[in-house]
Structure 1
Amino acid sequence: MFRNHEFLHRRYTLEGYSIAQISEEISSSKEAVRKALKQFKIPIREPSQHHGHPSQAKFGTRLSAGKLQKNKRELDVIATINQLKAQGLSLRQIAKILTNLKVSTKNGAASWHPQMIKRIIDMSASEGRS
């Protein structure tokens, strides 16, 4: 599988799998997958870059019967976050407001972290929702 350009491109570039996730899926070493990516001239992401978790839908969507669908509650939270940011509030202030309002995170946690807010703002900006 790791010698198949289409498979690697789909998993790594389009679906956001990490080298470790691909190597585990095909029972190969991470180094073999890394070499194949280089061989096929597929740009390798920086190790610190967030790779996403294909098993979890992005904030604002949910997985239902194997298909991504919009999550109205989360889309409303995204709109609120963008409105608060537009009003000049800091990431920390937005996180505190959502925590105080008892808005749960994607994973059902009760408290929000400023980094979560930043990821949601960045994601919505890249998708044209801001």
Structure 2
Amino acid sequence: METQLLIKIIHMSAVTLVCLVIIGRAFTLFKGVQGNQPNPAGRTLFVALQHLSMTLIAGTGIVLLFMKNFDVQPWFYAKVILFLVLLSSLSKAYRKGDQLKLQQRRAGLFLAAVALVAIIGLVVIKPNFG
């Protein structure tokens, strides 16, 4: 199997995993909440899977960039910015401590979901900005 294809498969598998983890972890902000904290059930597993998938996405993405000699389309930069928004929103939504209200956590989750859908939309549509 071609190396680039194998890395693409790993990259897309990690994207699928992150989608499932975000959906699964979202339930912790709606069911069994404790004050302003998400439900602690399964927290360790969700955090581990989320970190694993985000690391795989970033790592395989960088490797694919090297393999393509950094020859990217203009929409790629929007994808990178949206990925940073996704990471930032998820860190806001699941930050430890009681300083954030539950509504703020849910807003962070909503922004993360919008960023994820926008990234997937960019990849599917591959718009031509020129």
Given the two structures, how large is their TM-score scaled by the length of structure 2?
0.28
Larger Rg: 1
If each structure's strand is expressed as a fraction of its own residues, which one has the higher value? Answer: 1
Given the two structures, how large is their TM-score scaled by the length of structure 1?
0.28
The structure, 1 or 2, with the larger RCO (C-alpha pairs under 8 Å, 6+ apart) is: 2
